[in-house]
Amino acid sequence: MPLAALFGFAWFLLGSCLFAQTVQPVISEYGAKADGMFTLTNGTLTPMVVVMEPKSFSITPDGQGVFRLLDAGIHVELSAMSARLEPGQSYYVFYKAHADKLPAWFTVYSTFSFLRHEPGMDVRIMLPHTVYLYQKKPLAKEEINVASATWDSGTKKIVCDVENRGFSLIRVQEVRITGTHASESTAGFPLLPAGRRHLELSWSEKQPPEMLQLRFEHFTLKEPLVPRGK
C-alpha cells in the first residue's frame, strides 16, 4: 500500500475510534441526593478499558470547565471504578451521591483506552457525566443580573454578561434572540453560585435583533438590545 494511502487509512481508523465511544446522559440533575446511572458504550471494533474518576470543577466566564480533585464535602459512590468493554458493548454504571452543603456539582470522567497499546497509537478519550445537586429553595429572579446587553452591527454579534448574585445553583434553559420577523436560539448553561457567564452570540438575519431572552425553569428574563456605541 502506498505511504499516502496508508497514512490516510490510519487517520480514518483513528477518527473512527475518537467518535465511537459515548457516555449517556451527559448531564443529570437531582435534588439533595443523587441515585442515578449512566451508560458507557464502546462503538469501536476493539476491546477497551474504561476508568471512572469523580472530579469537582468550576466554570470560567467564557464557559470553560476547570477541573480538580473531588471536594471533600461531596460524597460519590460508584458501582464500579473501571470496566472492560468488548466491541459494541454497553456498560451501566450506577452511583449515589450527596453533599455536606447544597448546592453541589461534580463530573464523573470516563477515560477510554485501548486494551492493547500499539506504538504511536496510545489514544485516550475522556468523556464526562456531570451531576448537579440542587438546593431546596430556587434562586429568585432578582438575583440574576444581565449587564451590557448590546448589538454590534459590525461583527453581527450580541454581547452581554449574565451574573448569579446569589448562593444558589440555577440553569439557563434557553437563550433566545428575537427581532421584528425572526428569532434564533442557543442551548442554555449552568450558572454556579456567584458565577458569571460572558456571552457572544451570532445573529444571521439582515434586520438587527431587538431582544435577548434568558429562559429559566420558573421565569424568563427579557433584555432590550442596545446598539453598541449608543
Owning domain of residue 160: 141-227
Say if residue 124 is in the same domain as residue 40: yes
Q: Which residue has the higher pLDDT, 226 or 1?
A: 226
Residue 2 has pLDDT above 80, yes or no: no
103 cis-preceded (ω within 30 degrees of 0) = yes
Q: How far apart are CA 8 and CA 3, in angstroms?
A: 9
| pLDDT tens digits for range 35-86 | 999 999 999 999 999 999 999 999 999 999 999 999 999 999 999 999 999 9
**Residue 216, pLDDT score:** 96
Q: What is the CATH number of the domain that holds 210?
A: 2.60.40.1930
**Residue 181, pLDDT score:** 87
Q: How far apart are CA 67 and CA 36, in angstroms?
A: 22
| pLDDT tens digits for range 174-211 | 999 999 889 999 999 999 999 999 999 999 888 999 99
Q: How far apart are CA 159 and CA 201, in angstroms?
A: 7
Say if residue 123 is in the same domain as residue 200: no
Residue 16 has pLDDT above 50, yes or no: no
Residue 1 has pLDDT above 70, yes or no: no
| pLDDT tens digits for range 95-129 | 999 999 999 999 999 999 988 765 655 678 999 99
Averaged pLDDT, 121-148: 91
**Residue 115, pLDDT score:** 82
Say if residue 66 is in the same domain as residue 162: no
- Cα angle at 135 between 78 and 104, to 5 degrees? 40
Residue 3 has pLDDT above 60, yes or no: no
Which of 133, 168, 186 finishes a domain?
Answer: 133
**Residue 224, pLDDT score:** 95
**55 near 70, Cβ under 8 Å?**
yes
Residue 18 has pLDDT above 80, yes or no: no
Averaged pLDDT, 142-168: 94
Residue 8 has pLDDT above 80, yes or no: no
Nearest to 192 by CA among 216, 221, 168: 168
Nearest to 191 by CA among 212, 213, 161: 161
Which of 87, 113, 133 finishes a domain?
Answer: 133
Which of 81, 101, 133 finishes a domain?
Answer: 133
Which letter does DSSP use for residue 140 in this model?
Answer: P
Say if residue 123 is in the same domain as residue 10: yes
Say if residue 91 is in the same domain as residue 156: no
**Residue 228, pLDDT score:** 82
The pLDDT-based confidence of 19 (bands split at 50, 70, 90) is low
Say if residue 105 is in the same domain as residue 15: yes
Residue 163 has pLDDT above 90, yes or no: yes
**Residue 15, pLDDT score:** 46
Say if residue 115 is in the same domain as residue 210: no
